[in-house]
């Protein structure tokens, strides 16, 4: 089984590995149901999805009548206005077949225009606060990609007391001195406020090379061997302050869960440097 820890101030004891339901965006219901069986086998008790993840919410919905109490359920919206966010929340509730969401997140909140709209009058933040007041959602968060995201999350936390953040985190990315400094600055604030930190892109090998056929549903080329996946997953889990969201491809999910279940300690810098050379790893964000 996979270790559990308190998911920030929510108090929920989430598995250190959260199921990243982007992996369900293009699969059949039968494949999704097989994925549910795998999650239950490993004791994963936290699902992170988004309305923009293809058919993911639709695929999760049939699980909820029987299994809702087994999962902390999170979803996201990319809508920046009050009306847009509220309408999307209603759709998410319908697709997910539930009357409440544990965590609702502003997704990919990294541009100036989007941030100003979401945080301004009649912005998404007003919908978020109303939904929480009405008990439709319990907790609120922000997510993002790109190198700017730690700084944007700090800005969002200055504007509003969000319960969670989500951003990229892997060994290669943390060799970027500016990103590493920004990430650690965000971590310090999150630790002080007991904000849960979710991480993505643990299995990123590099952007897809132009001459390589895309045989996975991830938008980057992922690591694929069990040894490489073990090292990448164990490196992230070696930071006891973060959670790891699983890879966006159900065919790699068993290897990620197996790596997490076997976690003992973080690989050394020497081991990770050797992995970079062996797998020709590069940063996803340039």
Extents of the domains making up the chain: 4-279
DSSP character at residue 212 = S
pLDDT for res 274: 98
pLDDT in tens, the chain (286 residues): 899 999 999 999 999 999 999 999 999 999 999 999 999 999 999 999 999 999 999 999 999 999 999 999 999 999 999 999 999 999 999 999 999 999 999 999 999 999 999 999 999 999 999 999 999 999 999 999 999 999 999 999 999 999 999 999 999 999 999 999 999 999 999 999 999 999 999 999 999 999 999 999 999 999 999 999 999 999 999 999 999 999 999 999 999 999 999 999 999 999 999 999 999 999 999 7
Per-residue DSSP letter, 63? G
- Mark residue 4 as left, alpha or beta (left: phi above 0; alpha: psi -120 to 50; beta: remaining): beta
Q: Which CATH number fits domain 4-279: 3.40.309.10, 3.30.70.3150, 1.10.3210.10, 3.20.20.100?
A: 3.20.20.100
Say what the pLDDT of residue 243 is. Answer: 98
CA dist 257 and 235 (Å) reads 14
Cβ-contact 134, 119 below 8 angstroms: no
Among candidate residues 30, 88, 38, the one with its CA nearest the CA of residue 59: 30
**DSSP collapsed to 3 states, 21-36:** HHHHCCCCHHHHHHHH
Cβ 118 vs Cβ 86: under 8 Å: no
Kindly report the pTM of this predicted structure: 0.97
DSSP 8-state code for residue 123:
B
Nearest to 72 by CA among 263, 245, 256: 245
| pLDDT at position 87 | 98
- Give the pLDDT confidence score for residue 286 in this predicted structure: 74
How confident is the model at residue 23, as a pLDDT? 98
Question: pLDDT value at position 135?
Answer: 98
* Cα pseudo-dihedral 184, 189, 194, 197, rounded to 10: -40
What is the per-residue pLDDT for 168? 98
- In the block, which residue shows the tokens 């909140």? 109
């Amino acid at each position: 089984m996979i270790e559990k820890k308190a998911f920030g101030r929510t108090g929920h004891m989430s598995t250190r590995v959260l199921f990243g339901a982007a992996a369900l965006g293009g699969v059949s219901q039968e494949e999704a149901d097989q994925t549910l069986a795998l999650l239950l086998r490993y004791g994963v008790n936290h699902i992170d999805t988004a309305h923009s993840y293809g058919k993911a919410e639709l695929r999760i919905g049939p699980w909820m009548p029987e299994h809702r109490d087994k999962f902390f359920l999170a979803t996201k919206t990319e809508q920046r206005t009050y009306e847009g966010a509220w309408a999307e929340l209603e759709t998410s509730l319908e697709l997910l077949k539930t009357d409440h969401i544990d965590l609702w997140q502003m997704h990919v909140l990294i541009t100036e225009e989007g941030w100003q709209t979401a945080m301004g009058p009649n912005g998404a933040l007003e919908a978020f606060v109303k939904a929480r007041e009405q008990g439709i959602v319990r907790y609120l968060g922000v997510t993002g990609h790109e190198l700017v995201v730690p700084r944007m999350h700090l800005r969002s936390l200055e504007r509003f007391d969000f319960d969670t953040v989500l951003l990229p985190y892997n060994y290669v990315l943390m060799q970027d001195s500016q990103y590493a400094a920004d990430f650690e600055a965000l971590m310090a604030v999150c630790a002080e406020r007991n904000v849960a930190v979710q991480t993505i892109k643990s299995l990123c090998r590099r952007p897809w090379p132009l001459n390589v056929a895309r045989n996975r549903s991830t938008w980057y080329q992922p690591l694929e061997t069990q040894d490489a996946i073990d090292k990448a997953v164990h490196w992230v889990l070696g930071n006891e302050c973060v959670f790891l969201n699983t890879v966006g491809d159900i065919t790699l999910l068993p290897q990620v869960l197996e790596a997490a279940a076997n976690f003992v300690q973080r690989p050394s810098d020497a081991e990770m440097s050797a992995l970079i050379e062996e797998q020709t790893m590069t940063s996803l964000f340039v």
